Structure 1
Amino acid sequence: MDHGEYDKPVVEGTAHGKISGRRVRRRRLKLAGPEEFSDKSRVFMYQMSEMLCRILPAYNNYFQGDMAKFLLVNALAAANVQRLMSSPLSQDYESIGTRVPADLQVPANALSLAESTGMPRETVRRKLKELLASGMLVEDERGGYRLRPGALQAEALLGIYFANFKAMADVMEACLEAGLIDGDL
């Protein structure tokens, strides 16, 4: 099967060594076209709904019913390591158990998080301050936020991640069986 590939830009130098200017190549799955998806879309929607019902209650519990915080932490986590994960250094940080040093993280501000989540900026600012007070985040002198080192390694979260992995595998398997995706998984 033909796998499409794409290039992603990488970051340059850090205190942990030079990240080359080369591009990282990653394989992509072949997705069904709009017509094939339409024919089997209920398979996907059912599996996605099942997955969300399996994983979201655990996050709801962890964030004490505040799913806005859950969304912000995920948006912040992705923003903080976006450049790192598209660089050759990403291999050194594939495990959630490996803490990412601050100089490899890109801080995000309230405006960028509001834009990426669709939440009002004032709500984002208020929730960021609550997460900061709880010790989950750190704020730099320019108003940028990062996850506190070790925040993602909390024991309660590690169990949730593995449950997410299993739930996502079920969705992928169902989509493969329905012909919605194809590829070497």
Structure 2
Amino acid sequence: MSNNKRLTVNEAVLDQKLRYTGYQLTNGFLAFFNAMRDTAGLEPDDLLIYCTVIAASIQRRLRNREEQDVHTGQLAISETNFRPISRRAVAEATGLSRELVRRKINRMIEDGLLVEDSRGVKTVNVVSKAGAASNVRHLTGILAGLANALLAEGILE
């Protein structure tokens, strides 16, 4: 798909096929969640915490197309580009208790999934680790399958 093409939602078709769309989205979410859980070897609450930290760590760079190390084929991103998030903010974002978040983050730090600095925790270059590229490909396939199902029904255009 070229850079100038964008998927859009056909609101009229969506309204007609709302139940179907909801089922497809739920199925896609569960497939994506299960693949991430299996890939990372994390329990559901661990995965929620981990994904929250990942999103907070790299979100600013994802929004900025000028930050080429995120949008190009480079696997490793300079550690200075990851932004930390506090355990308190993770607890607020996830709705989990601060103590549970603290314990689970500490374990993820011990396991090498997260790193800590004076301002909080952040993700590391896990995508550059062995096997991660195939996992990203698998997750992308799940999303493509969901998009194709919605395209076939005319919900996405």
The equivalent residue for 2:93 is: 116
Identify the structure with the greater helix proportion.
2
Which protein has greater RCO, CA pairs closer than 8 Å, 6+ apart?
Answer: 2
| CA distance in structure 2 between the partners assigned to 1:32 and 1:122 by the alignment | 44
The percentage of counterpart residues that share the same residue type is 23
CA distance in 1: counterparts of 2:92 and 2:69, whole angstroms? 30
Structure 2 match to 1:19: none
Determine whether 1:30 maps to 2:5. Answer: no
Residues 39 and 135 in structure 2, CA contact (< 8 A), matched pair in contact too: no
Shift of 1:53: 4.3
Instruction: Return the alpha-carbon distance in structure 1 between the equivalents of residues 127 and 107 of structure 2.
Output: 17
Residue pair 1:138, 1:146 contacting (<8 A) in 2 also? yes
2:135 aligned residue (138, 145, 160): 160
In 2, Cα distance between the equivalents of 1:96 and 1:156? Answer: 16
| Structure 2 unmatched ranges of 5 or more | none
Whose strand fraction is larger, Structure 1's or Structure 2's?
Answer: 1
Equivalent position amino acid for 1:30 in 2: T
Deviation string, structure 1 residues 88-119 (Cα, Å, up to 9, x no partner)? 43333225752221222211111221222222
Q: TM-score with structure 2 length normalisation?
A: 0.80
Any idea what SS the aligned residue of 2:135 has? helix
Q: Structure 1: any 5+ residue segments left out of the alignment?
A: 1-25
Decide whether the 8 Å contact of 2:82 with 2:122 is kept in 1.
yes
Q: Greater CA radius of gyration, 1 or 2?
A: 1
For 2:144 and 2:78, the matched residues in 1 are separated by 30
State the AA in 2 paired with 1:124.
V
TM-score normalised according to structure 1 size? 0.70
